[in-house]
Amino acid sequence: MNWMLTHSGRKMDLAAPAAHAVHTSDISHALGNLCRFGGHTRSFYSVAQHSVLVATLLPDELKLAGLLHDAAEAYLGDVIQPLKLLLKEFPQQTRDIVDLVASSLSSKVARSNLTTSLEQLTLCASSAPGAIALRHFESVYHQAEKAMHVVICERFGIDPEFGAEEIRHADLVALATEKRDLLPDDSTPWECLEGIEPHPATITPWSPAEAAMHYHSHLMEQQLLAHRRRCA
């Protein structure tokens, strides 16, 4: 079974998603119930509230796209970023281990022999069922996420790539703000936040019901404003 039953009673085919199955109430409800950071925040903080925060950091013409930048998670769930990176970087990590160990040897012959041995070991590790499963999951999820984002954008009449760089920056500002206000204190730097300053306003988390309500209200408002801009 490749389809899911949504909050509104609609069926969404995950293998072949369609714009007609996308509904504002389903997205609002699901994102309102979906906690960021795998649930490891000091109090509940939803993807819906995160999306509203991102939208407030963007100019008017990008607010609708900002609200929808994580909307695919309403149907696919939220895979935490460290896991996404692990799935994506696994093949390169094994290659880096080979290069690092080989470069520490002074003898060219030893380097060559060790590189060959480690590459064979790496190939075995990369071909192991677990590694293949990781790469397969990353590929399937990425394709499903991309397809879902495309049909959601189709449903709301926006280009899937519209404002991508600006939204990415707003997403990082929101992330820096969430790290400051919602996560345990930790001095370890996050590479993705280098040079990114958090928003000065402090986040007050909404309940799932509040988050769904606020998100839905913003979504309806931005749809109307986007329609007016297109008709102007």
- Taking only the tens place, the pLDDT of each residue in 46-79 is 999 999 999 999 999 999 999 999 999 999 998 8
Residues 6+ apart with CB under 8 A from 192: 81, 172, 175
Question: What pTM did the predictor assign?
Answer: 0.81
Under DSSP, the state recorded for 5 is: E
Dist CA 49 CA 208 (whole Å): 9
pLDDT exceeds 60 at position 155: yes
Q: Are 184 and 42 in contact (CB under 8 A)?
A: yes
- The answer to whether residue 8 sits within a structural domain is no
7 within a domain of the structure (yes/no) = no
Is 205 contained in some domain?
A: yes
Which pLDDT score is estimated for 98?
47
63 or 230, higher pLDDT: 63
What is the C-alpha to C-alpha distance for residues 178 and 81, in angstroms, rounded to an integer? Answer: 14
Does residue 187 or residue 119 have the better pLDDT? 187
pLDDT at 31 over 90: yes
142 domain residue, yes or no: yes
CA–CA separation, 78 vs 94, rounded Å?
26
Reference 35, options 183, 186, 193; nearest CA is: 183
215 found inside a domain: yes
Element (H, E) at 3: strand 3-5
Q: In 3D, which of 47, 55, 54 has the Cα closest to residue 75?
A: 47
Q: How confident is the model at residue 86 (pLDDT cuts 50, 70, 90)?
A: confident
CB 182 within 8 A of CB 203: yes
Q: Any idea what the CATH number is for the domain that residue 133 is in?
A: 1.10.3210.10
Indicate the angle between helix axes 47-56 and 208-231, nearest 10 degrees.
40
* Percent of the chain residues topping a pLDDT of 70: 78
Assigned domain for 10 exists:
no
Cβ burial, residue 28 (10 Å; 0-12/13-18/19+):
buried
200 belongs to a structural domain: yes
Quick one: tokens of 91?
């093949």
Q: Provide the residue range defining the domain that includes 221.
A: 17-231
Q: Which of the four pLDDT bands, split at 50, 70 and 90, describes residue 82? A: confident
Q: How many domains does the chain have?
A: 1
Q: CA separation (Å) from 77 to 6, 27, 31, 134, 144?
A: 13, 11, 9, 17, 11
Would residue 6 count as lying in a domain? no
pLDDT digits (tens, 9 = 90+) for 93-131: 555 544 555 455 555 555 455 455 545 545 554 555 555
